[in-house]
Structure 1
Amino acid sequence: MSRLSAGKTLLLLGVLVVVIMVGLHFSADDTDELTPFESTTRDVLSPVQRLVTVVGGKISDVVTFPARLYKVSEHNRQLEQQVVELQGKLSSYNEIRSENIRLKEQLEFKTSLADQMNTEAAEVIGRAADNWFGSAIINKGSASGIRRDMAVITPAGLVGRVTNVSDHTAEVLLITDPRSGVGCLVQENRAPGIVEGVSGGRGVVNMMHIPSDLAPKKGNRIVTSGFGSVFPKGIPVGTVRETRREESGLFKMAVLETFVDFNRLEEVLVVTSTNPDSAT
């Protein structure tokens, strides 16, 4: 060991001894008065004591930092989990709220039609991916009184008619399918015509065979005519978007915007019976 290192060691030991002796003296003395030596020693050692306190605090911070960092990380993870759970609950609440609004509208509509027709509420449980605007499957069948060729509606308007039935399900041919044909009237001028679906029309329907002298105007309302035994009279179908002449040149045709949003068809009403005397 070099002389310099030995000297530093002795100096540190000396300081340690002095500190210990002073500490013992302070702890052993019960008097309130400090001796000159005690006062001088305290004044001399106060910077060292302050330095030791600061360094000790920093060391404590360094030692405890990993634990505090882990606690913060764990707390953040818990908060993130709570956010995910709250977002899920909010989504469920919004879905339930939307469903309640739709069902309330459906109930009010059903009540308003009580003197005109009887209906059975049903949910849409299936749509064909390759023919989205062609047909839909509902969760009510013959066990609920559903029969073939019953009209299907919503509070917004006409949806289609039942084409086949099982005990607990039924298939509905939508008015947007090219195979569908519905006798209708222009509400404003009573012009007759047939509403047909358009192949690949993404929900578009046309009113065909309108007399040329009774061509409807843009915005005119189209309702069912009640001709035949399937669709009751006066059910809203849509509004006229544009009118043009048919290829034969003998009649006019109108492109309609349906009242029912067939992209978001979730609940429907099946018309199980009607009172013709109350129909409008």
Structure 2
Amino acid sequence: MLELFKLLGNKRLFILLIGLILFVAVMGFTLGPRAGLSWPEKFIKDTVGFVQSVFYKPARAVAGFFEDISNLRSLQEENKELKIMMAHYSREMPKINALQTQVESLQNDLKFTEAQKNSNKFDLAIVDVVSVNNDPANRTLVINRGSNDKIRKGLTVISDKGMVGIVSEVSNFTSTVKLLTSMDSRDITSPGIAATAVGKENTSFGIIEDYDQQTGTFLMTKINQNDPLAKGDQIVTSGAGGAFPKNLPIGTVVSRQPGNGLTATATIKPAASFENWKSLFVVITWEVPK
């Protein structure tokens, strides 16, 4: 009997040591410098994302049911507007196709590189929101698409109104999106967004790099004093630097303030509402070959 206890004790000690070694190995691999997530992290994120979707989607469905009932009255008016928009779209399509053919011809004549030709081309992949993290310091959400669906780190995520966030982590079947409401110029990992005003693309430029949690607005900086940017202007991505596609809606100028003498700043009301999402779109841009 004593030998049996010793044997069991040795087995437990052996299993404990093996577990400890595996734990240290995984932690070392996870904490070390790397370009993406390790496979244990991807597995955990995909598993957690699936479990969250089981609870999140039904809850959103119930909330959406009552919301849809309250919106039934506006559906008829919206359908009329959509029919008008489709009529305008059908009328303008021949002009758009002709212009596209002309642009492609000019690009070939000017010997544009493939990267230049594809810099403004993108596809939209519709995704479902699995869960939302409402931590004010690090607002993120999880979507139900990952690397298996050509989602990659750094892609832009938008709603039907405007920019929402940037893909920050990717696993096989889910991805984490860092919301623009987490933007902070003091954070070196927070990217600035090169922006311009609609109709003033050649004369207006600034950087969106901060979000004010109290006022719910963006701060646009590095605006030249001679810049014609004014209250009411529609702000979109400029495409400068290649980090974000051109002409993605960001918001509307609420006010413009003097800066440090050389530049000015502007307060931007976001186009997106940052709440009550069911589905979003990932902007899949052309990937430069390595």
Q: TM-score, normalised by structure 2?
A: 0.53
Deviation at 1:153, TM superposition (A): 1.3
Alignment of 1:185 with 2:190, yes or no, is: no
| Contact 1:162–1:170, Cα closer than 8 Å, also in 2 | yes
Find the aligned partners of 1:158 and 1:200 in 2 and give their Cα distance: 17
Cα separation, 2, equivalents of 1:91 and 1:125? 15
Q: Which residue number corresponds to residue 272 of structure 2?
A: 260
Q: Distance in 1 between matches of 2:174 and 2:286?
A: 22
SS in 1 for 2:265: strand
Show CA shifts across 1:207-265 (max 9, x none). 1111011142110011100112331111111110011012x332111101111111233
Largest Rg, 1 or 2: 1
Give 1:260's aligned amino acid.
A
Task: Give the one of 206, 212, 223 matched to 1:210.
Answer: 223
Question: Alpha-carbon deviation of 1:202?
Answer: 5.7
2:232 is matched with which residue?
219
Deviation at 1:129, TM superposition (A): 2.6
Within 2, Cα distance between the matches of 1:245 and 1:272?
A: 37
Number of residue pairs aligned between Structure 1 and Structure 2: 176
The aligned residue for residue 162 of structure 1 is: 167
For 2:143 and 2:192, the matched residues in 1 are separated by 21
Q: Among all aligned residue pairs of Structure 1 and Structure 2, give the percentage whose two residues are the same amino acid.
A: 28
For 1:12-161, list aligned pairs within 5 A.
Answer: 92=65, 95=68, 116-131=121-136, 134-161=139-166
In 1, are the aligned partners of 2:195 and 2:205 still within 8 Å (CA)? yes
Secondary structure (helix, strand or coil) at the match of 2:240 reads coil
> Is contact 1:173–1:180 with CA below 8 Å preserved after alignment?
no
1:140-190 deviation per Cα after TM superposition (whole angstroms, max 9, x unaligned): 111211101111112211112111101111111222222241111122333
Distance 1:122 1:258 in 2: 21
The answer (yes or no) to whether the contact 2:225–2:264 under 8 Å persists in 1 is yes
Structure-2 separation of matches of 1:155 and 1:257: 16
2:179 to 155, 158, 174: 174
Runs of 4+ in 1 over 6 A off after TM superposition: 88-91
The residue that corresponds to 1:269 in the other structure is 281
The offset of 1:133, in angstroms, is 7.1
Which 10-residue stretch deviates more, 125-134 or 252-261?
Answer: 125-134
Give the SS at the match of 2:275. Answer: helix
Closer/same/farther in 2, CA of residues 91 and 207 from structure 1, 3 Å limit: closer
